[in-house]
Amino acid sequence: MSATAETLYARPRAAGRPAVSPLAVSGLLWLGAAALTHGVPDRNTGITDIAYTPQLAALQAGLGGALLAAGLLGGRLGRPGAALRRAGPWFALIAVLLAAWELLTAKLAVLPLPFFAPPQGLLEVYLDDWARLGLSLWHSVKLLAWGYLIGAALGVLTGISIGWWQQASYWIHPVLRFIGPLPATAWLPVAFFAFPSSWSASVFLIALATGFPVTILTWSGIAGVNKDYYDIARTLGASERFLVLKVAVPAALPHIFVGLFMGLGASFAVLVVAEMLGVKAGLGWYLSWAQGWAAYANMYAALLVMAVMCSSLITLLFRLRDRVLSWQKELVRW
């Protein structure tokens, strides 16, 4: 840090000028958004009724009051308070965006209904249709888990085989180069014809989308291990099984996790397509159903749930990576 920057950060605050907490500002903005939601009348255009306005205003006011109290308490909240203070600008931005969304849809009807649902529309979906949406989320997680775990396991085993044994590389590599680059969704007609149910076909497609990047990155990691490691282990009397399980695989783990991340991203896209076209439950099916009935609030609510689900799964995978690769903790962040 330069001397000028050090002087700037070390300069004491002028007397009589209390620091303004971004968290307190964000709380005031949320209270202002609540006043806008409750005080300005909704403009019902006759296309669809706007409900749950008082409930939305109460939620905004509650969050605003909590943020304002946390901002006024300052450092007395410990680590949770520090995390909230770091997120203070984001809370403020979300409050402004939510107020603008409310103003342009429910209050002024600048954005036409029902294509642009107001915030109350999403709240109505979560309160009234939570059972169907929750069941769809459960089906999506179950389908994704089966397809991803099968694809990841087969990808790791195939990558190790290609990277270690020449015979496996001779037979599998050409097939991988021929089939791997094809999008998994291109196999939809074949999968739904070959498998006995749409659910098993969807599992196959997700596993196929996951397995290709995991195989390539695992193979790359095994092939890139320093040969001196093998020589040292052989000098100490290591068997071939020990070389694979205790030398090659641990050294290739950073590459394997990169493949797992890429496979997880690919599996999300295939999950939505498979559920839209074949599976009779899941978030993809819910999106297709909502679009067919022009229930755009349900569609936006499902998209938000899907975003939270995907982000949470990637976060869990990063936590697993940090635990397994403790010497590379937080080298790659999410």
Summarised one tens digit per residue, pLDDT across range 93-103 is 999 999 999 99
Is 5 a residue whose pLDDT tops 60?
Answer: no
Is 6 a residue whose pLDDT tops 80?
Answer: no
Is 260 a residue whose pLDDT tops 90?
Answer: yes
For residue 329, what pLDDT is reported?
Answer: 66
Among 3-7, 40-44, 72-76, 302-306, top mean pLDDT goes to 302-306
Least confident of 120-134, 172-186, 291-305: 172-186
Q: Read off the tokens for 185.
A: 């969704």
How many angstroms separate the CA atoms of 131 and 120, rounded?
18
For residue 14, what pLDDT is reported?
Answer: 46
Is 273 a residue whose pLDDT tops 90?
Answer: no
Tell how far CA 253 is from the center of its chain: 22
Q: Cα dihedral sign for 194, 199, 203, 208?
A: positive
Q: To the nearest whole number, what is the mean pLDDT of the chain? A: 85
Condensed to tens digits (0 to 9), the pLDDT of residues 135-168 reads: 999 999 999 999 999 999 999 999 999 988 888 8
Task: Evaluate whether 37 touches 56 at the Cβ level (below 8 Å).
Answer: yes
Task: Evaluate whether 293 touches 285 at the Cβ level (below 8 Å).
Answer: no
Task: Evaluate whether 213 touches 266 at the Cβ level (below 8 Å).
Answer: yes
> What residue has token string 């107020």?
99
Q: Cα dihedral sign for 109, 111, 116, 122?
A: negative
Q: Cα dihedral sign for 154, 156, 159, 161?
A: negative
Domain range annotation of the chain? 19-122, 130-325
For residue 109, what pLDDT is reported?
Answer: 85
Q: CATH fold of 130-325, please? A: MetI-like fold (1.10.3720)
Give the angle subtended at the CA of 144 by the CAs of 142 and 150, to the nearest 5°. Answer: 105
Task: Evaluate whether 185 touches 273 at the Cβ level (below 8 Å).
Answer: yes
Containing 189, the helix (H) or strand (E) segment is: helix 188-194
Comparing 44 with 89, the larger pLDDT belongs to: 89
Is 317 a residue whose pLDDT tops 60?
Answer: yes
For residue 76, what pLDDT is reported?
Answer: 76
- Complete DSSP assignment for 46-66: SSS----HHHHHHHHHHHHHH
For residue 27, what pLDDT is reported?
Answer: 92
Among 5-14, 70-79, 261-270, top mean pLDDT goes to 261-270
For residue 172, what pLDDT is reported?
Answer: 87
Condensed to tens digits (0 to 9), the pLDDT of residues 211-241 reads: 999 999 999 999 888 888 888 888 888 888 8
How many angstroms separate the CA atoms of 123 and 126, rounded?
5
